[in-house]
Structure 1
Amino acid sequence: MSSIKNLQKRLDKILDKLESQEFLHNQGLGNEIGFYVFDYPAEHELVVREHLQLITQKLQQRGRSFASINLFNCIIELLQQRNLLQRAFQLQQERGDEALFNALKGPLEQNRMADFIADKANLEQSQFILLHGLGSAWPMIRGHGLLNALHAKVGAVPTVLFYPGEYDGTMLKPFGRIESNNYYRAFKLVP
């Protein structure tokens, strides 16, 4: 089966999973936190984005209360709040990507991002959290680092990371190409 057909079959199962009682109430997880990864081939990013828009519209129409958070937009908002965005643009122009990456390690540290996301998610009102846009935010935000930092912040609110790459149940492989030693234990949203 082609990768796009396989992906489409998996995408078509997301809505039912998000509305299931098992997902919404963290049932059947063996006392583990309800963190999920939906991995997909990075070359199909636009297909996933479109499907995610469709899913969020349906969930809103059905009265679900949830947070859909674009991680790249979080970087922009956080830098704007700290009056760093224009300086970051200028630094990147003058000194390049590596200098920018090094300068933003502190302001975009994973625990700061996790606090920002938890606030943005309005945890008291959200049944679950959908995190997306990681491909645009990488390497400023790393999937395993962010999920580790979010554990203590979101409590029992089920959280899904849409991940452009591969996830085998223990290791995240960014874009399906970059080998990294980044153990993370979560559940696959749709195997």
Structure 2
Amino acid sequence: MSGQLTERLNAILPKLTSPDFLSGQGIGNEIPFYVFDYPAEDELRIREHLAFLVDKLPKQAPDLKVVHVNLFDFLIDYIKGRGYFEKSLEKERTLGSAKAVKSIKAIASAEKLADHFAKEVMSDQPDLVLVSGVGSSYPIIRTHELLNNLHKHMGLTPLVMFYPGVYDKITLKLFGKASLAFDSSSSDRKRKARYYRAFRLID
């Protein structure tokens, strides 16, 4: 698995800088959303490679405006901006994590986060957006919900999400599991995990 991941990682930079990728060739009229899925246990390796990409992309493609968004940092900034950060920490201390998560989700819906994403990230009109921090921001940010709400904001700008789990072009399975806690039923979990409108960046 390690060798296969190395090959896939090595293929990312040429892919991101290729004219066909940046112009959306080969995807028809679909939204240019891409998922790079990987085993959750390789998270630190992915972070290192992302740092490499963020450093290398401006050198290899000087005209390419790239933005890297860590969803966990993005979420913290969003909560702080609404004056709710200290309150959420106190709620976790007194009532527990589940209550704290529920209260944060009340002010940080996928729609609100997508609108904030558009304001903070897309207002500068980047050519490429890289997204990480998926595992760290769970369960407050649900990837499929965020992506669905970002469709109207991204236009033709490619978005690449680095995903610690499995994406089989139909279902997003965070940490490689078909369903996770915090949802009401197994059928509901499977339904909510489905996300059809993204391509795998590297097979």
Matches within 5 A, 1:60-71: 60-62=58-60, 63=62, 64-71=64-71
Match for residue 6 of structure 1? Answer: 4
TM-score by length of 1: 0.95
Match for residue 183 of structure 1? Answer: 194
Q: Is the 8 A contact 2:34 2:159 kept in 1?
A: yes
Residues 31-90 of structure 1, C-alpha deviation per residue, up to 9 Å, x if partnerless? 101000000000000000000100110012232201100000011100111000111111
* 1:27 aligned counterpart, secondary structure: coil
CA-based RMSD of the aligned residues comes to: 1.2
Q: Is the 8 A contact 1:67 1:122 kept in 2?
A: no
**What is the number of residues matched between the two proteins?**
189
| Over 6 Å off, 4+ runs | none
Report the CA distance shift for 1:54/1:157 in structure 2 as closer, same or farther (over 3 A).
same
* 1:98 aligned counterpart, secondary structure: helix
TM-score by length of 2: 0.89
Report the CA distance shift for 1:34/1:123 in structure 2 as closer, same or farther (over 3 A).
farther
Report the Cα distance in structure 2 between the residues aligned to 1:164 and 1:156, rounded to whole angstroms: 25
Moved more, 115-124 or 30-39: 115-124
- 1:125 shift after superposition: 2.9
Match for residue 122 of structure 1? Answer: 122
Q: What letter matches 2:82 in structure 1?
A: R
* 2:37 aligned counterpart, secondary structure: strand
| Runs of 5+ unmatched residues, structure 1 | none
- 1:178 shift after superposition: 4.2
> Identical aligned pairs, as a percentage?
39
| Runs of 5+ unmatched residues, structure 2 | 180-188
Match for residue 105 of structure 1? Answer: 105
* 1:105 aligned counterpart, secondary structure: helix
Report the Cα distance in structure 2 between the residues aligned to 1:152 and 1:69, rounded to whole angstroms: 18
One of 19, 22, 39 as aligned partner of 1:21: 19
Q: Is the 8 A contact 2:32 2:158 kept in 1?
A: yes
- 1:163 shift after superposition: 0.4
Match for residue 59 of structure 1? Answer: 57
Match for residue 182 of structure 2? Answer: none
Report the Cα distance in structure 1 between the residues aligned to 2:146 and 2:20, rounded to whole angstroms: 24
Report the Cα distance in structure 1 between the residues aligned to 2:2 and 2:112, rounded to whole angstroms: 36
Report the Cα distance in structure 1 between the residues aligned to 2:123 and 2:66, rounded to whole angstroms: 9
Residues 77-124 of structure 1, C-alpha deviation per residue, up to 9 Å, x if partnerless? 001110001111111111111101110112110011111222222355
Matches within 5 A, 1:84-95: 84-95=84-95
